[in-house]
Amino acid sequence: MSDPRAEQHDERYARTPRTTPTRYRDRASWERTEIHAILDSSWVCHLGFAGTDGPVVLPTIFARVEDRLYLHGSTGSRPLRAAGAPAGLPVCVTVTQVDGLVLAKSAFRHSVNFRSVVAHGVAEQVTDPAELAVALDALVDQAVPGRSRDVRGASPKELAMTAVIRLVLDEVSAKTRAGTVNDDPEDADLPYWAGVVPVSTAYGTPEPHPDTERELPPYLRDFRPGGAAC
């Protein structure tokens, strides 16, 4: 019989002080499936690190491959250069999706329905050509799965201008809020509208470039939000 502790480790990331929120701890999760689902349905993250002139937070695209996050940048960017140092770059990566605006009868009780992931660790620059190829394909596929197989690959000149950093998912957690308004009982009879305004990402009909003669590829005909495969 397998060790239950090993199975639990496989299903959840380890809880640490940095991944345990100080407020609303009941909204936190260390479940791998939940964390991966949030990451795989997103394609923009915010990369935080300590710069030479103070804290820096940068938006960038990313992709998940198993327990690794790959973040895209140019070879001249500060975090990409710093991650190439032997010690790597201590970072915090965040991803957030807003699902609804929660409008209460009191200003204090207004909130947002959301899903978020926060990951801490040391980022390193990807230098192995085989891993870099996997990472670049995953970055293209993160927003539109299947796209990397339907484009020209990067040329040597383009590869020389592109850098990717890797963050192993180890110290990571999710935090979510769902549901309706949490008004105070004494505010229930106040004459104000209360409820939730749902928020979602809408995808329009693909618009071909004038020099595109090919018909719409299958992966775009019924395109829905998604992410790279495990």
Contacts of 51 (CB under 8 A, 6+ apart): 78
Residue 32 parent element (H or E) = helix 32-40
Q: Residue 138 falls within a domain, yes or no?
A: yes
Query: Model confidence over 103-127: pLDDT tens digits?
Result: 999 999 999 999 999 999 999 999 9
Tell me the three state secondary structure of residue 143: helix
Q: Residue 86 falls within a domain, yes or no?
A: yes
Q: Residue 202 falls within a domain, yes or no?
A: no
Q: Residue 36 falls within a domain, yes or no?
A: yes
Q: Residue 223 falls within a domain, yes or no?
A: no
Q: Flag whether pLDDT at 3 surpasses 70.
A: no
Q: What values do phi and psi take at 221, rounded to 5?
A: -70, -40
pTM (two decimals): 0.87
The Cα 177–Cα 230 span in angstroms is 26
The 10 Å Cβ neighbour count of residue 142 is 26
> How many domains does the structure of the chain reveal?
1
Q: What values do phi and psi take at 120, rounded to 5?
A: -115, 155
Q: Residue 212 falls within a domain, yes or no?
A: no
8 A C-beta contact, residue 30 and residue 24: no
Of 75-89, 98-112, 119-133, where does mean pLDDT reach its minimum?
75-89
Whole-number pLDDT of residue 7: 39
Whole-number pLDDT of residue 225: 59
The 10 Å Cβ neighbour count of residue 206 is 12
Q: Residue 200 falls within a domain, yes or no?
A: no
**What is the C-alpha end-to-end distance of the chain, expressed in Å?**
27
Distances (CA, A) of 94 to 130, 201, 224: 27, 19, 23
Q: Residue 213 falls within a domain, yes or no?
A: no
Residues 183-192 have a mean pLDDT of 95
Domain range enclosing 82: 4-183
Distances (CA, A) of 63 to 81, 90, 162: 20, 19, 15
